[in-house]
Amino acid sequence: MHFGIGVIGATGFIGTPYRQEIREASAEARIIALCARRQDLLEQAGAEDNATLITNDWQEVIHHPKVNLVLICTPDALHHEALLSCAKAGKHVFCEKPIGTNVQQAFEMYTAVQQAGLAHYVPFWSRYQRVLQQAKQILTSGRLGDIRGVVYRWHNPRPLGMPFTWRDDAALSSAGSIADVGSHAYDTMRWLLGAEVTRVMAHADVITAAKPDLGDINLTEAIDWGASPPDEPGGKTRQATAFDYASLVFEFATGAVGTLILSHSPFFRKGLAPELELHGTEASLAVNRIDSTTTLALPDQLPEAPQKVEEPDAENRFINYVFPALREIITHGTTEHPGLEDGYRIQLFTDACSRSAAQKSWIELGQIDPDPAKRSDGLPGK
C-alpha cells in the first residue's frame, strides 16, 4: 500500500522532522496535504513537500480524496476532534502522544478507530532505542529475577531563558511534563516489564519562573531564542500553568514498586545518574540513554563495568517502524508496534497522576477507566 499523507500541525517542532523522513520515503509515501496556523511556515513547508494542498482548515486535509493516512501533530487539546473525524472519514491515523487531554477522550479515540477497522500508530520512540532493547533482552533472559523496584529519572531541561509556548499552557497541554515525557517513561516501563501500574501518588508543580511571551512561536523557535536570549530581554512575560516538574510513586500489578521524577525545568540536569534502574531478586540493572550504556550489579558486589550499546547515527522511523506497523494492521489486524490502545493505557496513568497531584492522595487507575470491562469497581466511566 502506498500512503497519501496529510499532516495536521505540519510546521511545528514534531511535524517538521516527520515530514523530512516521509520525503525520504518516496517509494512508500507522498505528502499530499498540509495544515498549519502560520502562513509563512505553511507556504515554506508546501514548497518543501511539493504538497497539493496547503490550508489552515484541518478538515480539508482529512477529506482530501488522495489522503489515506493523517498525521496529527497538533497541541494535545486538538487531537481528539481531529482523530474522530479521521475515523469517520475512514482514514488511517498517526497520532502524537499524549493522544488526548483525558482518559475519556483517549478511550473514545481508541474505540472509534477500532470500530472503523483502521490502522493506527502512536510514536513511543523509546522502544526502538538499542540500549533499551538490550535491557529488555536482559530482563527476558531472567538474569535479574523478579523485578521488585524501578527508579526512573526523565529530565528534559529547557534553556533557562526559553520563551512561553503552548506546552506551558494547561489549556492546550495534557498535564505538562507528566504527559509529555511521562508518557514515554511509562510506556518504556510497561513495555519492559509487561505490567501495568495499578495506583499512583503524585506531587506536581510549576517550578520555573515566568517566561518571555513572544506570541505564537513553535518549540524550535523558542529553544533557539532561549539558547541565546538578549542580555536584557524586557517585554511581557507569562507564567506557565502546565506542570514542568513531577515526582511520582506507584505500584505495579506484579507487586513491584516504582518512583519516577519528570522535569522540563532548566534546573534538573540530565546525565548525573543513570536514567533507569531495574532492581530484581537476582540482580539490578542501570540503563542510561544519555551515554547508551547498561550496568549490571549482583548482590553484595560492586557494579560491573558499563556496557556500551551502539546506537545508529540516524534512521528513518517511518520506513523502519511506522509504515511496516500500519501495513501489519491493514493486512493482519494486529502489530507489536505501539498504537492507540497503548496511548489509552498511558493516558490512564497520566490522568491518575494529575488527579493524585490535585487531590494529594493515592489514585487507583481502575477507578478512572471509562471502559466498564476494565474498571475495578464496575461503574460507568466518569
In three state form, how does the secondary structure of 219-262 look?
A: HHHHHHHHHCCCCCCCCCEECCCCCCEEEEEEEECCCCEEEEEE
Note the pLDDT of residue 371.
Answer: 81
Task: Report the candidate in 154, 178, 374, 187 with the shortest Cα–Cα distance to residue 270.
Answer: 154
pLDDT, tens digit, for every residue of 169-190? 999 999 999 999 999 999 999 9
Note the pLDDT of residue 233.
Answer: 63
Determine the angle formed by the axes of helices 340-359 and 177-193, rounding to 10 degrees: 120
Q: How far is CA 114 from CA 38, 109, 237, in A?
A: 33, 9, 44
SS3 (DSSP) at 368: coil
Q: Which residues of the chain have pLDDT under 70?
A: 233, 375-382
CA dihedral 215, 216, 222, 228 (to 10 degrees): -40
How far is it, in rounded angstroms, from Cα 358 to Cα 361? 8
How far is it, in rounded angstroms, from Cα 192 to Cα 197? 13
Note the pLDDT of residue 382.
Answer: 34
Question: Half-sphere exposure (CA, 13 Å, Cβ side) for 2?
Answer: 8
User: Could you give all domains of the chain from N- to C-terminal order, each with its CATH number?
Assistant: 3-125+315-338 (3.40.50.720), 126-308 (3.30.360.10)
**Amino acid letter, residue 308:** K
Task: Report the candidate in 104, 37, 108, 97 with the shortest Cα–Cα distance to residue 73.
Answer: 97
How far is it, in rounded angstroms, from Cα 322 to Cα 100? 20
Contact by Cβ (8 Å): 206, 264: no
Residue with cell 491515523: 93
How far is it, in rounded angstroms, from Cα 322 to Cα 333? 15
Task: Report the candidate in 163, 145, 95 with the shortest Cα–Cα distance to residue 346.
Answer: 95
Note the pLDDT of residue 381.
Answer: 39
Contact by Cβ (8 Å): 39, 56: yes
SS3 (DSSP) at 377: coil
Residue with cell 492507540: 340
Q: Give the DSSP H or E segment for 348.
A: helix 340-359
pLDDT, tens digit, for every residue of 29-66? 999 999 999 999 999 999 999 999 999 999 999 999 99
Residue with cell 497520566: 350
Grid cell listed for 370: 471509562
Contact by Cβ (8 Å): 214, 294: no
Is the bond preceding 98 in cis, omega lying within 30 degrees of 0? yes
Grid cell listed for 212: 518571555
